[in-house]
């Protein structure tokens, strides 16, 4: 399956690579009212993880349960792998549920490249797929 070239400007995400790339093996773009957001967003600082979209920071018990591995076996809570020159997963598959976008095709983004923005994002709803183009 073809992968979409992805530019990520969401520096607060654990998957953000210093070259404005995404180190997640797969990203999920979701519809949020009239915008498309990156639902794969995971905060770089797990102490800022919000609970159910509220301004309540997650306690230690919750953080322990959400520090799961992504689909390539990389611990999201440890982003040190992103800075290694050997990182090989910098072109993620873009799964997209925004079926009113002209690049959507059977839950996959068919754009040649996309840009995800939201430099100060705290939750996925703060991110934006800048390539989103309604049909």
**How large is the average pLDDT for residues 56-72?**
39
**How large is the average pLDDT for residues 98-118?**
93
Higher-pLDDT residue of 87 and 131 is: 131
Coil, helix or strand at residue 7:
strand
| 40-75 burial code (b ≥16 CB/10 A, e <16) | bbbbbebeebbeeeeeeebeeeeeeeeeeebeeebe
Q: Where are the domains of the chain?
A: 5-129
pLDDT digits (tens, 9 = 90+) for 38-59: 999 988 876 555 555 544 444 3
Instruction: Label residue 24 by pLDDT band (50, 70, 90).
Output: confident
Low-confidence winner among 24-28, 85-89, 106-110 (lowest mean pLDDT): 85-89
The secondary structure of residue 13, as a DSSP letter, is: B
């Amino acid at each position: 399956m073809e992968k979409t070239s992805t530019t990520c400007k969401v520096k607060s995400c654990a998957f953000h690579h210093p070259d404005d790339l995404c180190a997640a093996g797969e990203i999920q773009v979701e519809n949020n009212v009239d915008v498309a957001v990156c639902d794969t967003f995971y905060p770089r600082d797990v102490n800022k993880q919000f609970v159910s979209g509220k301004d309540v920071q997650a306690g230690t018990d919750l953080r322990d349960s959400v520090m799961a591995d992504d689909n390539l076996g990389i611990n999201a809570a440890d982003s040190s792998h992103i800075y290694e020159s050997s990182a090989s997963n910098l072109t993620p598959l873009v799964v997209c549920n925004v079926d009113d976008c002209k690049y959507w095709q059977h839950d996959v983004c068919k754009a040649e490249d996309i840009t995800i923005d939201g430099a100060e994002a705290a939750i996925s709803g703060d991110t934006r797929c800048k390539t989103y183009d309604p049909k």
